[in-house]
Amino acid sequence: MRRNQLSIHSENILPIIKKWLYSDKDIFIRELVSNATDALNKIRILRDQGQSIDGNLEIAVTIDKKRKTIQIADSGIGMTEEEVEKYIAQIAFSGAEEFVAKYKPKDEKEAIIGHFGLGFYSAYMIASKVEIDTRSYLPDSEAVFWSCDGTSDYSIGAGARSIRGTEITLHLDDESLEYLEEAKIRELLQRYCTFMPFPILLNGKPLGNKAPLWMKSTADCTEKEYLDFYRQMFPLDPNPLFWVHLNVDYPFNLKGILFFPKIHRRFDSQESTIKLFCNRVFVSDNCKDILPDYMMILRGAIDSPDIPLNVSRSYLQVDQNVRQLSSHIAKKIADRLSTYFKTEKEKYVDSWSEIEMFLKLGILQDEKFYERVRDLLIWKTSDGNWTTVGEYLERSSEKKVYYSSTDRDSPLLQMYKEKKLEILFAPSPIDTALISFLEEKLSCKFQRIDGSLDPSLVDASREKNLLDADGKTEAARIADFIRTALDKQELEIEAKSLSSDRLPALLVLDETQRRLRDYMALTQGKSAAPYHPKKTFIINTNNKLIQTIAKLKEKQPDVAKEMAKGIYDLSLLSQREVEPGDIDRVISQQTEILEKLSALLV
């Protein structure tokens, strides 16, 4: 046995690896099983190229509690002494790249995993000593034994291995003894290695790992296989709405299956349910640094060796591959949605509540995505139909879209319907932002039905505009009375003759200011500073209640005042503008008004 020094530039690299390279100790198993997989893949490639090589291709992980060791053995390509010196002793000199350059695999299925570079040395995160016993596939090679206790000294000499392959033995350090539990290692293998291509045995028992469905060509996958795969990954979910199977070779490599789920988590939870793999090796549960936010709703797996690992988010966002990758996914999903819309329109409409948020967020976050899905963005209308804004504008004579922020019926909505005006329903919180976006894109104006009094709703023939002795109209007098009754400086009050008699009053909020407020609430939540859009209270001089107030104001001014306040509160209520803390006050005030009115009757 000879003593030798690890050939690296810094003598202190091992403590660095141990402490800083990977924040997560668990990944040592991913690295070592990946190395074993690469070694087996190399054998398979040589066999495919006609070399006569026999024996099972498999990986055995064995835990020895007594000796406090974990052993990872493979029947792969093995290493000669020279190779151990070169590939193991020269840290960060990755043999994988050299191999690929020498024997280009015919088939990407044989892709070599090892490009993490320092993978083997991750063993030192949990081991105080690592030994390698290896024997190369080359004829007449002899077993080589290498041992290193984590300092920069190592020993190398004759090994004991009688068959081709490599055995890595980790002598666990005292802080890592939890890895001697079979259950723990099984869980880790299941997390990182379920889709690895060679059988893995843990203490002699098969892990049951198999090739992932995304490796199969789309044409060969059945619907049942996709659904089974989904259930395997997300056992508690109902079946997904649809899925896209990704398979790109150029100019970047991407495989995977993304499912559009039937149920969503709350949108603000930014956790991703897209698992990220690199050549079938599980890397992360979280794709949120790689894909745009709106895609976080999707579930499934993407597998790409072209995503740089262990780099910062800001780097990822400018990385060319990562950008192309998310734009490819966006395109695939847009195409799939488009087919869904064209071929199964009814189902599409039925699933709208599931699709809506994804589509709308995507439109707001990704201009290109908007161009692709603009005709798929549909709205329910007061006629009970579904329409796109483009179609709506084609039907309308003006460049104006009337919309309501709720899809509930109301006397105001009825008034518009009576005037044969079509109203779009835009009840989702994100719609405010979307409407501003569409106004710019389509050069049109969205007019919220309670955002101003549309001239078509005024019935000029019944206007109460006769002047009295003081030169005031009847309308102006009732407006004056209500102004005094409500006593709100900031509130404009107007009396109008509306086309329908049913609605006593209408509270109009300045559209621009209200959008600003809604936008601040959406982006800043509860921390948004209170902001009150300008309000105009329009009373309907054709309504019975308003006419009663006009009559009562001389005889019963107190009751008339209470009624005016009551109507104002009801308008606030119907606009959802009552502050939550104010609801109880409104209720007790309404009760008092009823009491006072009923007292007049008996």
Residues 6 or more apart whose Cβ sits within 8 Å of residue 388: 374, 375, 376, 377, 378, 379
- How far apart are alpha carbons 443 and 445 in whole angstroms? 7
Task: Report the residue number, 164 or 245, with the smaller CB distance to ligand ADP.
Answer: 164
Task: Report the residue number, 125 or 333, with the smaller CB distance to ligand ADP.
Answer: 125
Phi then psi for residue 108, to 5 deg, are -65, -15
Cβ 42 to ligand ADP shortest distance, Å: 8
Yes or no: say if 280 and 195 are a contact pair by the CB < 8 Å rule.
Answer: yes
Yes or no: say if 213 and 226 are a contact pair by the CB < 8 Å rule.
Answer: yes
Amino acid letter, residue 435:
I
Cβ 116 to ligand ADP shortest distance, Å: 5
Burial of 235 (0-12, 13-18, 19+ CB in 10 A): exposed
Cβ 38 to ligand ADP shortest distance, Å: 6
Cβ 93 to ligand ADP shortest distance, Å: 7
Cβ 267 to ligand ADP shortest distance, Å: 38
Cβ 32 to ligand ADP shortest distance, Å: 7
- Please, where are the H alpha helices in 49-144? 81-83, 95-102
Task: Report the residue number, 134 or 541, with the smaller CB distance to ligand ADP.
Answer: 134
Task: Report the residue number, 284 or 338, with the smaller CB distance to ligand ADP.
Answer: 284
Q: Strands 423-425, 492-496: parallel, antiparallel or unpaired by DSSP? A: unpaired
Token pair, residue 200, equals 């893995």
Cβ 246 to ligand ADP shortest distance, Å: 25
Cβ 69 to ligand ADP shortest distance, Å: 16
Task: Report the residue number, 148 or 291, with the smaller CB distance to ligand ADP.
Answer: 148
Task: Report the residue number, 36 or 495, with the smaller CB distance to ligand ADP.
Answer: 36
Task: Report the residue number, 116 or 214, with the smaller CB distance to ligand ADP.
Answer: 116
Cβ 108 to ligand ADP shortest distance, Å: 18
Locate the DSSP E strands across 139-227. 144-148, 153-158, 165-172, 200-202, 205-206
443: left (phi over 0), alpha (psi -120 to 50) or beta: left
**Considering only CA atoms, which of 41, 79, 83, 82 is closest in space to residue 58?**
41
Token pair, residue 276, equals 């990220």
Yes or no: say if 4 and 89 are a contact pair by the CB < 8 Å rule.
Answer: yes
User: Any idea which residue has 């006769």 for tokens?
Assistant: 466
- How far apart are alpha carbons 351 and 238 in whole angstroms? 14
**Considering only CA atoms, which of 538, 536, 458 is closest in space to residue 497?**
458
Cβ 137 to ligand ADP shortest distance, Å: 10
Cβ 425 to ligand ADP shortest distance, Å: 56
Task: Report the residue number, 74 or 366, with the smaller CB distance to ligand ADP.
Answer: 74
Residues 6 or more apart whose Cβ sits within 8 Å of residue 502: 411, 414, 415, 543
Task: Report the residue number, 166 or 574, with the smaller CB distance to ligand ADP.
Answer: 166
- How far apart are alpha carbons 140 and 372 in whole angstroms? 62
- How far apart are alpha carbons 580 and 277 in whole angstroms? 47
Q: What is the DSSP letter of 473?
A: B
Q: Strands 59-64, 200-202: parallel, antiparallel or unpaired by DSSP? A: parallel
SS3 257: strand
Q: What is the DSSP letter of 538?
A: E
Please give the residue ranges that form the binding site for ligand ADP (CB under 6 A): 31, 35-36, 39, 74, 76-79, 87-88, 94-96, 114-120, 166
Cβ 206 to ligand ADP shortest distance, Å: 20
Task: Report the residue number, 72 or 257, with the smaller CB distance to ligand ADP.
Answer: 72
Task: Report the residue number, 116 or 294, with the smaller CB distance to ligand ADP.
Answer: 116
Task: Report the residue number, 119 or 150, with the smaller CB distance to ligand ADP.
Answer: 119
Task: Report the residue number, 19 or 345, with the smaller CB distance to ligand ADP.
Answer: 19
Residues 6 or more apart whose Cβ sits within 8 Å of residue 396: 422
- How far apart are alpha carbons 88 and 80 in whole angstroms? 11
Cβ 60 to ligand ADP shortest distance, Å: 12
Cα angle, residue 488 at apex, residues 486 and 493 outer, rounded to 5°: 75
Task: Report the residue number, 88 or 207, with the smaller CB distance to ligand ADP.
Answer: 88
- How far apart are alpha carbons 37 and 57 in whole angstroms? 9
Cβ 71 to ligand ADP shortest distance, Å: 12
**Cα separations in angstroms, 234 against 9, 190, 230, 355, 477:** 47, 15, 6, 19, 67
Yes or no: say if 505 and 540 are a contact pair by the CB < 8 Å rule.
Answer: yes
